[in-house]
Amino acid sequence: MRSFHYSKKTMKKDHLLIFLMVASLVACAPLIKRPPKEIGEVSPEDLKKKLVTEYLQGGEKCEEMGDPVTALGHYKRALTVDPLNQEAIESRKRVEEELCRSAEEHYQAGTKFHKAGKYGRARHQFLIALRLWPDHAGAVKMLTTRKRIRIKSYVIHTVQPGENLSKVAKMYYGDPRKFPLIAKYNNITDANRVYGGQKIMVPEIKGMPFLARKEEIKKEKPEVVGVGLKEWGKHTLGEQEPAETPAVEEKKEEALDQVASYRDDGVELFSIKKYQEAIDAFNKVLNVYPQDSIALEYSYKAHLQHGMSLFGKEDYLAARHQFKACLRLKNDSKKCKFYLEKSENLYKEMHYIKGIRFFDKELLTEAIEEWKLVWIIDPNYKRVDYLITKAKTILKNIQELKKSQKE
């Protein structure tokens, strides 16, 4: 009889536990705002059409504003939703042809500037070509190719009135076409702009004839330098500038060469859509030269494109981080502000709904974790702070009941 009495007592406790759990859930249920039914009633086909329409309208607006690059992105996104949409196919083809044609024009202009020794203007044209058409092989090659040459020594030459770098190249190499070597070795962005009395260094290059007198040759320079198209500084060896020791000059040249290498790597990585790697490369440039215009512009674009990619994968928190970085570089970017807000809203709603679903399944710990993710971004979002507190209270009550039952 004692055994039967004990079982009956235990059953009463079980019934009490179940009653309290149900009562708590029923009391809390009206406080939870479930997603509107309208969301579930929208058919996939209607949603698909809506997205395609939005992307097409966005592309048309960008074209009207003179931004075909962004317009192309909209048309491509429309085709990811509906690959057979004829309007998107035609719009993409039209804009791609326009961008390709325009990129080629800038590339040809850059080639002419480069042949004329106007390296700064050449680089500007190549960068425009690459922005319009990231896969332009010629522009990528001109911006990233870096031929390494071995320097044996150098001489200091004083430019005479009426003299140019072609004449200097003929004087020391016997070939006026070698003037780019002298221009790039001296960081001269425009080989046509030298003046009488200017002091320049003419490098002796291994494997090439050098017609300087032996007593003029100096050997303090580094043995290897990079001779590739890059954004050379405006430094020239004018008479008014104080002379620096060879060690200091060597360090400056090494730093300039390294920074240019990181910048060129960043442009190349951006062109093949490796945005995070490109961001890392541009950060190395900006750590040395915070106002570097090319690194700033490309870094902004890389963050934006990386953010858009993450947004498309529904990784809204990571996308939010990229859009915030965009705004630090360009705080007036309307596109970044729009997608930053959209990323936050979608992230909050996604985890809010997950929390509700867990709660409905009586998985209180999981529900709390989902709502905490929302609370970190926005503590006031749909009273999520109250829901967390309520779920914790229910969980605590259940745990106490279980504990008392064991006792």
The answer, yes or no, to whether residue 285 has pLDDT greater than 60, is: yes
The answer, yes or no, to whether residue 261 has pLDDT greater than 50, is: yes
So what's the pLDDT on residue 94? 92
Domain boundaries, the chain: 2-31+361-406, 32-144, 148-241
So what's the pLDDT on residue 6? 45
So what's the pLDDT on residue 116? 76
DSSP category for residue 226: E
The answer, yes or no, to whether residue 23 has pLDDT greater than 90, is: no
CB neighbour class for 351 (10 Å; exposed up to 12, middle 13-18, buried from 19): buried
Confidence bin at 228 (pLDDT 50/70/90): very low
Q: Which of 30-44, 93-107, 192-206 has the lowest mean pLDDT?
A: 30-44
What mean pLDDT is predicted for residues 206-219? 76
**What is the tens place of the pLDDT at every residue in 309-335?**
999 988 988 898 899 998 988 888 898
CATH 1.10.287 given to domain 32-144? no
Q: How many CB atoms lie within 10 A of CB 27?
A: 11
pTM of the model: 0.41
Confidence bin at 11 (pLDDT 50/70/90): low
Q: Which residues pair with 202 in a beta bridge?
A: 155
Q: Which of 84-98, 183-197, 289-303, 384-398 has the lowest mean pLDDT?
A: 183-197
> Can you tell me whether residue 251 is helix, strand or coil?
helix
So what's the pLDDT on residue 39? 43
**What is the tens place of the pLDDT at every residue in 235-256?**
222 233 333 444 444 454 445 5
So what's the pLDDT on residue 16? 52
Helix axes 293-312, 316-329, angle to 10 degrees: 160
High-pLDDT (> 70) share of the chain, %: 77
**What is the tens place of the pLDDT at every residue in 46-89?**
888 888 898 899 889 888 887 888 889 888 888 888 889 999 89
Helices in 145-245 by DSSP H: which ranges? 165-173, 179-185
So what's the pLDDT on residue 3? 43
